[in-house]
């Protein structure tokens, strides 16, 4: 049984030249990258992607940030438990609480610009991959 996840190097990570390092970590862990592209996310896609946060006060800032520059989008596959393993590799959403050795623990300093996004469940992975990599 395998699981798929949507992973995105956010604009701050791309601007800092961290895409290659992050992709290398994912590959070295044993995940397969099924698809990858660098793009500036369209506002409508960002609003749909973060739709569950629409009523939260930070929604507008989140959409502004994620559309502010290029991102690297990845469709990633691994064995059962892959989504959790990727989330563990990323570290907690607040990088100040992330352990050293995690992506956020090593490279991020604030919640709003925390270098990487990853699906938070297999179901979110299916939804996010359908949005960003239709037909995959």
Residues known to be catalytic: 117
Question: Would you list the DSSP string of the chain?
Answer: -EEEEEEEE-HHHHHTT-HHHHHHHHHHTT-EEEEEEEEPPPHHHHHHHTGGGTTSTTHHHHHHHHTSS-EEEEEEEEETTHHHHHHHHH--SSGGGSPBTBHHHHH---SSS-SEEE-SSHHHHHHHHHHHSTT-
């Amino acid at each position: 049984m395998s699981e798929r996840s949507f992973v995105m190097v956010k604009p701050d990570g791309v601007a800092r030249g961290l895409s290659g390092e992050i992709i290398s970590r994912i590959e070295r862990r044993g995940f397969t990258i099924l698809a990858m592209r660098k793009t500036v996310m369209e506002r409508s896609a960002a609003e749909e992607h973060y739709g569950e946060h629409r009523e939260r006060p930070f929604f507008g800032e989140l959409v502004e940030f994620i559309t502010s520059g290029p991102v690297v989008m990845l469709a990633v596959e691994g064995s059962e438990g892959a989504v959790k393993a990727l989330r563990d590799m990323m570290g907690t959403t607040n990088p100040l609480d992330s352990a050293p050795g995690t992506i956020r623990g090593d490279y991020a300093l604030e919640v709003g610009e925390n270098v990487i996004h990853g699906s938070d469940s297999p179901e979110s992975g299916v939804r996010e991959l359908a949005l960003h990599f239709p037909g995959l």
